[in-house]
């Protein structure tokens, strides 16, 4: 396992470097899998899928594995975790993913980076939950696809924390020093490129399903499904700074327009505190 300690010349160089690293998973994931192996005859696919969906890294590993080992007879992409587990079968799944390294082990010498990546993973989980809720409101044809895509929306940030911890800490430090600095600008100052610059190239290189690649493509932001995923990631990131974050009023307005619901209804769904409502509602509301 190698750590990246200096900026690389171009996006392709980052993709090449990251693609040669073995993705770790969360320690909790390994423990859950070990427990399920002990009772494999009674383990359901839904139980396995639930653990996978709690870990963006394991989600990436599973979908990438299926695409790389795609059967000739398979004429469609596997874009949800439930379908992925069904495709593999319970026993072959546990045989395939028997030897897993953990994020905690990988970053044992970088405790600040470990805290950083766990925070991003927490936001990814929250964004996936929000996107799923909004997809239901929108009567999306497949809310599970939206859930997976939203979970993977922060994939590059997660990978950078794991394999380039020092550089990633530098980028975050720039934002801590200047709260007006956009994350993409901070990343470009340190890495020479932004996480978004890397994202689509990386998911292509890791052979993610084509539909998920489309859903992660921000150039398609006029599409309601892509917009759902993008807004879920944005509002989750901004809420991490508290309900006073300057970007939240625009987020709330955009989400209301997407879902065709009133601001007070959205704020209740987001569990906003009563003290925050006045920021987002008209004076006479």
| Residues 184-194: tens digit of each pLDDT | 899 999 999 99
Give the predicted TM-score (pTM) of the model.
0.92
Of the pLDDT bands very low, low, confident and very high (cuts 50, 70, 90), residue 71 is: low
Instruction: Identify the architecture of domain 109-280 in CATH.
Output: Orthogonal Bundle (1.10)
For residue 22, the tally of other CB atoms under 10 A from its CB is: 10
Using pLDDT thresholds of 50, 70 and 90, give the confidence band for residue 213: confident
Write down the pLDDT at residue 211: 82
**Minimal CA–CA distance to 133: which of 147, 119, 122, 123?**
147
Q: How far apart are CA 65 and CA 84, in angstroms?
A: 10
pLDDT confidence of residue 210: 83
Question: 72 — phi, psi (to 5°)?
Answer: -60, -30
pLDDT tens digits along 233-268: 999 999 998 999 989 999 999 999 999 999 999 999
Give 101-104's long-range contacts (Cβ < 8 A, gap of 24+).
101/1, 101/22, 101/24, 101/25, 102/24, 102/25, 102/26, 102/27, 102/30, 103/24, 103/25, 103/26, 103/27, 103/57, 103/162, 104/26, 104/27
Distances (CA, A) of 143 to 96, 135, 159: 27, 6, 25
pLDDT at site 66: 86
Return the pLDDT at 78. Answer: 78
pLDDT of residue 222: 86
Of residues 51 and 199, the one with the higher pLDDT is: 51
What is the structure's pLDDT at 45? 93
Mean pLDDT of 99-103: 95
Domain limits, CATH 1.10.3210.10, in the chain: 109-280
* DSSP-assigned states of every residue in 252-266: HHHHHHHHT--HHHH
What are 15-69's pLDDT values in tens digits?
Answer: 999 988 999 999 999 999 999 999 999 999 999 999 999 999 999 999 988 888 7
Tell me: pLDDT of 75 over 60: no
Query: Which pLDDT score, from 0 to 100, does residue 205 have?
Result: 87
pLDDT at 51: 97
Res 57: pLDDT:
96
- From the list 84, 89, 93, 127, the residue with the least C-alpha distance to 238 is 127
pLDDT score recorded for residue 180: 82
Instruction: Describe the chain by its helix, strand, coil percentages, rounded to 5.
Output: 70, 0, 30
Q: What is the pLDDT of residues 133-181, one digit of tens each?
A: 999 999 999 999 999 999 999 999 999 999 999 999 999 999 889 878 8
For 102, phi and psi rounded to 5 degrees?
-115, 155
Average pLDDT over residues 94-122: 96
> Coil, strand, or helix at residue 25?
strand
């Amino acid at each position: 396992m190698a750590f990246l300690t200096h900026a690389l010349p171009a996006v392709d160089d980052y993709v090449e470097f990251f693609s040669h690293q073995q993705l770790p998973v969360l320690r909790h994931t390994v423990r859950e899998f070990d427990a399920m192996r002990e009772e494999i005859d009674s383990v359901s696919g839904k139980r396995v899928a639930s653990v996978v969906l709690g870990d963006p890294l394991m989600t990436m590993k599973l979908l990438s594995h299926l695409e790389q080992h795609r059967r000739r007879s398979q004429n469609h992409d596997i874009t949800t975790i439930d379908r992925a587990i069904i495709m593999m079968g319970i026993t072959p799944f546990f045989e395939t993913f028997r030897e897993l390294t953990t994020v905690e082990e990988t970053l044992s010498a970088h405790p600040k980076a470990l805290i950083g990546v766990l925070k991003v993973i927490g936001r990814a989980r929250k964004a996936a939950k929000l996107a799923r809720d909004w997809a239901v409101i929108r009567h999306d044809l497949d809310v599970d696809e939206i859930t997976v895509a939203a979970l993977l929306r922060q994939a590059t940030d997660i990978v950078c924390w794991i394999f380039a911890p020092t550089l990633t800490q530098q980028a975050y430090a720039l934002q801590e020093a200047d709260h007006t600095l956009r994350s993409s600008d901070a990343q470009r100052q340190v890495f020479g490129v932004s996480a978004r610059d890397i994202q689509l190239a990386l998911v292509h290189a890791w052979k993610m399903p084509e539909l998920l690649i489309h859903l992660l493509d921000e150039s398609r932001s006029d599409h309601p499904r892509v917009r759902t995923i993008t807004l879920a990631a944005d509002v989750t990131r901004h809420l991490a700074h508290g309900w006073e974050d300057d970007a939240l009023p625009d987020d709330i307005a955009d989400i209301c327009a997407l879902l065709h619901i009133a601001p007070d209804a959205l704020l209740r769904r987001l569990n906003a505190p009563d003290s925050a409502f006045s920021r987002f509602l008209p004076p006479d509301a």
